[in-house]
């Protein structure tokens, strides 16, 4: 199993080009199952979850061409469609459950295994199934599989989510575009990745409207006509490299970003003392003085993203004073804490709140990644630690960060991959 060896203590300097958003790519690519004609996507990140999804799409009867150099993905239809993706593929990627939606909408049937992915809490699919049932699907969950049928097709409905769910919102948007009548979603998630999905489907002939009160209205259409679409930049990757600059007391120019998507993170970074210079599709970040401790609470967008709390926790270990992080999205997303403590971090957990007391230096150690964002928090910690840190189980990192060690090394880091 591969691992990373990171020699810390080096200030980062240079520029990083951010890849396309993994979290935007996955639902958009999955929505291509709705089409009869070829679809083409640009700025697709070269990460493991994308390659897993490519295998899944192929199994379901599509032809896929991925030009890795140009980061262009083309998907076209074969003569025979399939409706049963195997567990061997589904077990490694949680977003795979989204294929239920286009298969039901297009063909009226699907059988999908319960998904796998990161170990950050239950993250049940019950909201997906609840909403699909509202659209008329008959669903039976047995022996680890979701067996769904809609022999008469899906029909529009009023759906109010009891809690905000990104995955369930994506699922119903995809399912409802070909449904009969109008679907109204209340308490919907409105992350930039969801807006990108809506924009893509509307370009293909869908009729989807939304407002900032978390309302989405979808008028079903009979056909969709795919077109080219460029995936938005990965805001979480961009913010992760921003933390890398600060935790090493370095200075980075971070390119290929949508700064509007980062404003919720910029606002926190400015308050703690980061210097951020904004340009059209890039920003420079550095610090002149000691950073200040902070208090953050994870919330659905436009609140502070749960996908950044682990990175901010790594940064907090190097800030004098006590910082607090309240995790209100997932229950069990502090698995990285014990690994950071192996490096000398002073962290106390009470239920869903972490208190981080800054220390002068982290120490190198051998640590183990537990999920995607926890993995990169250990990378950030290792960049600032004394000595060489070994990070095991880095396949989590490969699921969401494209060319991580190459991008860091070009900025002066010392990161080496080893078997």
What is the C-alpha to C-alpha distance for residues 366 and 342, in angstroms, rounded to an integer?
8
Name beta bridge partners: 368. 392
The SS3 call for residue 187 is coil
Q: Where are the alpha helices (DSSP H) in 98-165?
A: 100-107, 126-134
Spatial contact of 361 and 344, defined as CB atoms under 8 Å apart: yes
Q: How are the residues of the chain apportioned to helix, strand and coil, as percentages rounded to the nearest 5?
A: 35, 30, 40
Cβ contact 232:258 at 8 Å: yes
CB 283 within 8 A of CB 256: no
> Rounded CA gap, 251 and 16, in Å?
11
Q: How many residues comprise the chain?
A: 419
Element (H, E) at 28: helix 22-31
Catalytic sites, residue numbers: 118
CA distance 167 to 128: 7
Token duo for residue 285: 């970040």
CA-angle at 289, arms to 287 and 294, nearest 5°: 80
Radius of gyration (C-alpha) of the chain in whole angstroms: 21
Give yes or no for a contact between 77 and 36, defined as CB atoms under 8 angstroms apart: yes
Distance CA 228, CA 75 (A): 11
């Amino acid at each position: 199993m591969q691992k990373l060896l990171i020699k810390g203590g080096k200030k980062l300097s240079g520029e990083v080009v951010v890849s396309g958003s993994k979290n935007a790519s996955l639902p958009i690519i999955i929505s291509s199952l709705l089409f009869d004609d070829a679809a083409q996507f640009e700025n697709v990140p070269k990460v493991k979850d994308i390659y897993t999804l490519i295998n899944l799409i192929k199994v379901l009867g599509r032809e896929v061409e991925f030009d890795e150099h140009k980061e262009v993905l083309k998907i076209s239809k074969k003569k025979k469609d399939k409706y049963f993706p195997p567990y061997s593929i589904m077990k490694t990627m949680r977003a795979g459950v989204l294929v239920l939606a286009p298969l039901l909408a297009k063909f009226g049937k699907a059988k999908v295994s319960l998904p796998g992915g990161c170990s950050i809490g239950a993250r049940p699919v019950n909201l997906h199934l609840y909403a699909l049932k509202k659209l008329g699907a008959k669903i039976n969950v047995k022996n680890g599989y979701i067996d769904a049928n809609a022999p008469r097709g899906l029909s529009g409905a009023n759906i109010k989510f009891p809690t905000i769910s990104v995955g369930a919102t994506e699922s119903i948007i995809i399912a409802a575009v070909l449904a009969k009548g109008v679907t109204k979603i209340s308490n919907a998630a409105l992350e930039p990745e969801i807006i990108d999905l809506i924009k893509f489907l509307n370009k293909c002939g869908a009729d989807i409207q939304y407002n900032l009160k978390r309302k989405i209205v979808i008028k079903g259409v009979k056909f969709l006509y795919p077109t080219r679409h460029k995936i938005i930049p990965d805001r979480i990757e961009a913010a992760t490299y921003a933390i890398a600059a600060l935790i090493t007391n370095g200075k980075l120019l971070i390119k290929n970003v949508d700064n509007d998507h980062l404003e919720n993170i910029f606002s926190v970074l400015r308050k703690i003392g980061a210097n951020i210079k904004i340009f059209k599709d890039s920003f420079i970040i550095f610090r002149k003085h000691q950073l200040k401790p902070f208090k953050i609470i994870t919330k659905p967008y436009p609140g502070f993203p749960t996908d950044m709390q682990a990175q901010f926790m790594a940064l907090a270990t190097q800030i004098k004073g006590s910082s607090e992080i309240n995790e209100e999205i997932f229950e069990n997303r502090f698995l990285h804490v014990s690994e950071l403590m192996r490096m000398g971090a002073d962290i106390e957990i009470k239920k869903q709140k972490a208190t981080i007391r800054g220390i002068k230096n982290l120490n190198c150690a051998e640590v183990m990644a537990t999920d995607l964002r926890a993995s990169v928090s250990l990378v950030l910690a290792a960049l600032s630690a004394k000595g060489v840190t070994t990070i095991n189980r880095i396949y989590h990192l490969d699921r969401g960060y494209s060319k991580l060690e190459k991008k860091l090394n070009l900025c002066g880091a010392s990161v080496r991959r080893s078997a």
